[in-house]
Structure 1
Amino acid sequence: MLLWYGPRELAPANCDEARKLGGYGDDVEFFEKYRRYAYLNAPPATCECSCPASEGSCTKLPETIEVRAASCAEDGAPGLPFGGPAGWDGSCTSTNALPAGADCGGEPCAQSVYASPLPGPTSESCPSITKPASFTTATDWKWIGLACEAKEREGTCDPTTRRCMYDLPYPWLQCVALKGKHNKCPGNYDRYDPIHLYGELPVDTRDCTACECGGSPVGSACLGNLRFYSDVACEVGADTVDVASFGDQCTNVYPPGRALGSKAITDLAYLPGICLATGGEPTGAASEDPADVVTFCCLPPFEFAK
């Protein structure tokens, strides 16, 4: 048979393309006998571990809420307490209400509302579980061997002493094929070392170790809304400030000096954190399948004559 052996990106698409390359007509049929591969490139598995988000709760309110006699952009302004009663649960309260026009040293007292950070979660945890890692593998063969056969040429050789075959120009080689891996070639085919070509599917044991989830969450937080009103019943003139455990918050009051009669803290919520995973290490390897190998023994290239 005729063997093309070389880099995969340069290989002919099929044996019919080889026939046309040799200039043979449709009356000469070249058909594919083997398509085998060499130089396996199979890097370790790419492993990915992910764990469920953390679980927790948020129940505590900001330690400090103040009305300040300056905008949020100004530092050092005097402040008046604007927090709730002792043991406040965030529901509507008129404690520390401030009437409209309240004066603080010639400045309207109600120019901004400041809130210290929300305390962090009161309880949280990461689920302690073991789960499989997700993984991907990449397999590529750098070289390919395409072996084509054609019927013997009739009337050109003494059939008692010779076999006359169709030929193709270099790099096509005239070869015989032996199933299995052989380290020695027969007869006059022993000029070159044997070529071992393998089936496309390697023996593949690549995998990943399991993902282990647990430990302390990273990046969790508490969120909520501070709402303040002009009246004492949390109904009129609402403004809302987002509060969070990330940092303190401040919002300007418009118009400055307006009444701040009541407030409430609502929508306390837990923002889940990331539970870090361990494990997910690549294991195993991919190699040529020794049960699916063909040995090619080839003659030196002939001068091509159609």
Structure 2
Amino acid sequence: MTCTPAPPIGDAAPPEGFLTCIHHEGQQDCPATYPDRHVFYAGVEDTRGCAPCGCTEPTGATCSVLASAFSDERCSQLVVAGVVGTGDAPFCGTITPGTALGSKSVSVVSLDPGRCEPVGGEPIGSIAPTAAATFCCHRTSPVPA
């Protein structure tokens, strides 16, 4: 129940760029006398986002290390050393039986961490209009001059 100016007298059209309309809350059908339907929304509910991202287990990883054993505690008197890599058989260096070992060291010679496939990150959620309002308008033809 809103007070508005009366439509133009007779069959005259409203001023150019204007329409005579009625308003209803929500999405409504329009009566035959106001058939030009326009639905507007006051806002939106936005629940869009992305699924968590991740990575599959890496494949193709390789590495090799230099493993050394020493008879003293300062890693200065080398007993045996060898490069051991991914996929190699266990290292079997030749150490004289009964040899006391005082220290050991391992250093990385090469490292390739492999590759993984990305997973996740898919779009989720939606966007939906809220608070609909229906405007039903009457289009009148201009009166011929």
Q: Give TM class, smaller chain.
A: 0.3 to 0.5
What TM-score, normalized to structure 1? 0.24
What TM-score, normalized to structure 2? 0.45
Structure having the higher strand fraction is: 2
Structure having the higher helix fraction is: 1
If asked which structure has higher relative contact order (CA below 8 Å, sep 6+), I would say: 2
